[in-house]
Each structure stands twice: as C-alpha cells, then as structure tokens.
C-alpha cells in the first residue's frame, strides 16, 4: 500500500482513526505479552536494527553496513516473501547482492540454525524490535530526521507502531540526517544517539534528464535526492511492477527524452531482461565512527 497522506499531519481523517489505533495497540500488546513469556536466548549475540515507524525510514542500508562490518549473517522475515514463487523479498535480495548471508523466514528457526554453526560473530536481525519472542543483546532504533515521529499517532491514525516513548527502551538511536529536521522531533534522554548520512549516487551525469519512479514508503525522499528530474511516478511500498506499468514508464521517458531511474530496492523487483535498460541510484550510508566503537564495546 502507499503511505497514507495523513501519516505526516494531524488532520480530521487521522483523528477519526484514533479510537481504532488505541484498540489495535491494546490488543497487540496483550498478544505480545503472551508470546514473550519465554523469549528465545541466542548463543550468538543478536543485534536488532528496527524502527518504531511503519516503513520508509532507511533501515536496510544500516543493517547492511553493520552486517558487512562484522561479516555477520542477517535474519529477517522477508516482506512479500512467497514460497510459491520463490520470492524472498526485495530487501533480502538487496542485502544478499553485497555477499551477505541472508536467512529469510521464521527468525527463531534461523537463529537456532546459526547457533549450531562454529561461529561467534553476532547475528544482525533486520526489524523485529516489537517481536517479544527473541531476546536482543543490542537494540537499535532508526529515525529519519525529516520524518521524525510523523504526526505522532499510532497506526492507522499515524505511522507509529508503538508510542514514541518506546524509543527509550533502545540501547541506541541512529538518526539519518536530512537537512530538514521535522518539528517536535525530540529524542529521549539517556539513550546514546548516533548520526548517519545518506548519499544518493546517480549513475547519470547531472545534466541528463531523469524520469524517476519508486515503490517505497516515502518516495518523495528519493525524488528530492536526484537532479534534473522531469517527471516522477509513485507506487505502493514493495510494489510488483506489471508489464503495463513498465511500458507506460518507458513511453513517458521517451516522451520526455529522459532516462528511467529507480531505487535499488525497486530495481531488484524488475524483470531481469529490463535491468540493463533501467538503472538505479545507489544509496550509500555513512555512520559516525564512534558508533562502531560503541557497538563493539556493547557486544563484548
């Protein structure tokens, strides 16, 4: 689904959904309490990287950076995973393309499998901060300062999975700089905060006209990071492009005398025969050096 427009602003539509949001949260907490009575304790350290917003924050590049730093495997649920089609999810494919060992599916089963290996490197868990069935040794919450807490309300009235006070439970917070800090985005006291910077690297020269398309949580972030964009098209998060969609995009690019460009996450979902024709802009994430010192000490 596309990110609802009311997620970033308090308005009558969001306000009408507030009662549903609190009922949903209350029920989810009761379920979580029952599931978390006997959490799994891993032999290898578990570093969990997640967010308290529903998607679009920029967590996956940070998971990739941490896993690459330690040479660690990644366990993840695999959004849009399908046993019938063999699809393991776009984020899993993105991570695996850099040579990481990515284990998709039931996290507990995969952690149990990794614990039987003769290896003591940590295991990086992509998402799952709200999963009470696995004990985390290090919990890291990721924010984008341009999004902050959104409108500050819980799903479906806003983007928050849990109230923002839950960020206090993290061992650390990573904030991705944007240059446009969202109002009322105040981080909790007493939790170490580290900063990260994203750089979108286009495969094209600055003077090349671009038609940009994306199926991510907040596509406007991607469009704004590019230069000389003459047209944009947004799709729902994790969208599976149809041949009709792609034909329309190619016709639009031809009409605008421009090149098509998308995100890496969207590119891995394209048909193989089109991946040479349509390029993606690489997203590089650089973390504070002192974050790595903190993380190594925390894992010890």
Report pLDDT for 88. 67
pLDDT at 215: 94
Q: Are residues 28 and 147 in the same domain?
A: yes
CA angle 180, 199, 219 (to 5 degrees): 65
Task: Judge whether 8 lies within some domain.
Answer: no
- On whether the CB atoms of residues 237 and 55 are closer than 8 A, the answer is yes
Same domain, 176 and 245: no
Whether 15 is covered by a domain: the verdict is no
> 269 - beta bridge partners?
none
Residues 115 and 187 grouped into a single domain? yes
Instruction: Examine the domain organization and report whether 291 and 207 are in the same domain.
Output: no
Give backbone dihedrals phi and psi of 251, rounded to 5 degrees, phi first.
Answer: -65, -40
Judgement on whether residues 278 and 294 belong to the same structural domain of the protein: no
> Average of pLDDT values for 52-80?
90
One domain for residues 83 and 68? yes
Structure confidence at residue 86 (pLDDT): 45
Same domain, 78 and 162: yes
User: d(Cα 53, Cα 294) in Å, to the nearest integer?
Assistant: 24
Contact between 142 and 162 under an 8 Å Cβ cutoff? The reply is: no
CATH code at 103? 3.40.50
Do residues 29 and 106 make contact, with C-beta atoms less than 8 angstroms apart?
no
215 occurs within a structural domain: yes
Distance in angstroms (rounded) separating the CA atoms of residues 153 and 167: 14
Range of the domain at 173: 21-32+41-191+286-299
Number of domains forming the structure of the chain: 2
Please name the helix (run of DSSP H) or strand (run of DSSP E) that holds residue 32, with its range, or none.
helix 18-35
151-174 pLDDT, tens digit each = 999 999 999 999 999 999 999 999
Are residues 109 and 27 located together in one domain of the fold? yes
Cβ partners under 8 Å of residue 99, min gap 6: none
Taking the mean position of all CA atoms in its chain, how far away is CA 34?
A: 27
CA distance from start to end of the chain: 41
Task: Answer yes or no: do 136 and 236 share one domain.
Answer: no
Least confident piece of the model among 34-43, 107-116, 133-142, 283-292: 34-43
150 has a pLDDT exceeding 70: yes
Is residue 25, in this structure, part of any structural domain at all? Answer: yes
Is the per-residue pLDDT at 1 higher than 70? no
In this prediction the pTM is 0.91
254 shares its domain with 146? no
Residue 5 maps to a domain? no
Residue 87 predicted with pLDDT over 60: no
Q: Does residue 9 belong to any structural domain of this protein?
A: no
pLDDT of residue 83: 45
Cβ atoms 165, 141 nearer than 8 A: no
CB neighbour class for 232 (10 Å; exposed up to 12, middle 13-18, buried from 19): middle
Would 13 be classed as within a structural domain? no
The residue with greater pLDDT, 3 or 109, is 109
Say if residue 125 is in the same domain as residue 243. no
Does one domain contain both 276 and 146? no
Q: Does some domain include residue 78?
A: yes
In angstroms, the CA 168 to CA 183 distance is 19
């Amino acid at each position: 689904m596309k990110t609802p427009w009311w997620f970033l602003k308090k308005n009558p539509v969001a306000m009408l959904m507030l009662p549903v949001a609190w009922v949903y949260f209350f029920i989810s907490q009761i379920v979580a309490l029952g599931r978390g009575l006997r959490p799994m304790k891993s032999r290898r350290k578990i570093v969990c990287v997640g967010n308290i917003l529903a998607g679009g924050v920029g967590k996956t590049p940070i998971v990739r950076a941490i896993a690459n730093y330690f040479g660690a495997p990644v366990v993840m649920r695999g959004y849009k995973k399908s046993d019938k089609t063999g699809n393991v999810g776009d984020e899993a494919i993105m991570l695996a393309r850099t040579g990481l060992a990515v284990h998709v599916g039931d996290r507990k089963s995969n952690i149990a499998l990794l614990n039987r290996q003769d290896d003591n490197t940590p295991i990086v868990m992509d998402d799952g901060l709200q999963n009470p069935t696995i004990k985390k040794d290090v919990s890291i919450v990721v924010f984008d300062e341009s999004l902050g807490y959104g409108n500050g309300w819980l799903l479906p009235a806003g983007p928050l999975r849990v109230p923002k006070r839950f960020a206090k439970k993290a061992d650390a917070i990573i904030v991705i700089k944007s240059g446009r800090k969202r109002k009322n985005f105040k981080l909790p006291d007493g939790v170490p905060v580290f900063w990260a910077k994203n750089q979108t690297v286009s495969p094209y020269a600055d003077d090349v006209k671009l038609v940009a398309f994306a199926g991510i949580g907040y596509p406007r972030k991607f469009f704004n990071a590019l230069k000389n964009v003459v047209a944009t098209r947004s799709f729902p998060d994790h969208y599976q492009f149809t041949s009709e969609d792609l034909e329309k995009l190619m016709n639009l690019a031809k009409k605008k005398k421009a090149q098509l460009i998308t995100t890496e996450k969207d590119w891995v979902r394209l048909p193989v025969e089109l991946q040479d024709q349509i390029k993606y802009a690489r997203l590089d994430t650089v973390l504070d050096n002192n974050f790595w010192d903190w993380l190594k000490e925390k894992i010890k």
